[in-house]
Amino acid sequence: MKIVVLDGYTENPGDLSWDKLKEFGDLTVYDRTPVDDEEEIIRRIGDAEVVFTNKTPVSRKVIDACPNMRMISMLATGYNVVDYTYAKEKGIPVTNVPTYGTASVGQFAIALLLEICHHIGHHDRTVHEGKWENCEDWCYWDYPLIELDGKTMGVIGFGRIGQTTGRLAKALGMRVLAYDSYPNEAGKQIAEYVDLDTLLAQSDVIALHCPLFPDTEGIINKENIAKMKDGVILINNSRGPLVVEQDLADALNTGKVAAAGLDVVSTEPIRGDNPLLKAKNCIITPHISWAPKESRQRIMDCAYDNLKAYAEGKPVNVVNS
């Protein structure tokens, strides 16, 4: 069996091993494949039977040009880069990694929030630059510091990750509200389920953990921002297009939104003209919530399990069955 990994670097920049996949055949791993060059994608897949991809598109044209391909396996949960409907027509299962970053993404949401509350990175830099050494007083702070105990966090999207963030917020003494289309008993142990308008009106902090669907795209827009408390904090390490970025930038610059912590934006890598780059009090990190080694190892383990199940004739985690 020939196996190709089209873009393995972000999953494994060198601290993990691909060796287990070699149990099933001839493995070729490319660190990166140009996402806009279909001819190169086709060339690299060649006559491979199994293709692993993270962000490299596998289109109808690519599928037609690689007739030996029998399985497409994502190194991620999302699978929108694959024409999975056409793959189904061709009898090609598309598999994904359904759960791997729950703990790390929830942890990162709280890390973004705590950075907003304490500006630890800034104060560390100023100490190393000599400000404390030359300070008239025994301490100083350059930003208002925020205590979370007693405040309200609203979580939009209360699945596994949303509930993880909610549990962590609750441990900090926060009241937790949740908005989700499918309330469940586990969630009720953590949060009070409310409608969206109630969550927007009552939350001091709003965290986004919902999937990107037509009804959630742009859910943070000027109309919904207007329903929020003045001085609200927004956290998004879910999907960039959940936010209308110009509307959020405007709200940050007027102070309606006090601060935002973002690990995702609408176009990634971020473009230089993104309005959030110049917005006030906006922390942006480069989509790394998912990236702790432990989380990436779970992706690797699931990739192996998906390949093993396919080799045994019983594919699992199939998203286009």
Average confidence (pLDDT) over 87-114: 97
Percentage of the residues of the chain whose pLDDT score is greater than 70: 100
> Domain range holding 118?
102-284
Residue 26 shares a structural domain with residue 151: no
Mean pLDDT of all residues in 203-228: 97
- C-alpha–C-alpha distance, residues 264 and 168, integer Å: 21
Distance (Å, rounded) from C-alpha 109 to C-alpha 47?
Answer: 42
Indicate whether 70 and 193 sit together in one domain: no
Provide the pLDDT for residue 163.
98
Average pLDDT score over the chain? 97
pLDDT band for position 96 (50/70/90)? very high
Predicted local confidence at residue 102, as pLDDT: 96
pLDDT at 145: 98
Distance (Å, rounded) from C-alpha 215 to C-alpha 202? 22
Its pTM surpasses 0.85? yes
Q: In the prediction, which pLDDT does 221 show? A: 98
pLDDT of residue 11: 97
Per-residue pLDDT at 107 = 98
Residue 306 maps to which CATH number?
A: 3.40.50.720
- The residues assigned a catalytic role are 239, 268, 287
Per-residue model confidence (pLDDT) at position 293: 98
User: Same domain for 126 and 93?
Assistant: no
Q: Where are the alpha helices (DSSP H) in 213-276?
A: 222-226, 245-254
Give residue 193's pLDDT: 98
Q: Are residues 162 and 22 in the same domain?
A: no
pLDDT at 218: 98
In a domain, 254, yes or no: yes
pLDDT value of position 189 = 97
| 95 in the same domain as 191 | no
Task: Give pLDDT, residue 17.
Answer: 97
Same-domain check for residues 41 and 7: yes
Given this model, what pLDDT does residue 291 score? 97
The residue count of the chain comes to 321
Digit-coded pLDDT (tens) for 44-79? 999 999 999 999 999 999 999 999 999 999 999 989
The candidate with the shortest Cα–Cα distance to 96, out of 69, 76, 71, is: 76
pLDDT tens-place string over residues 129-171: 999 999 999 999 999 999 999 999 999 999 999 999 999 999 9
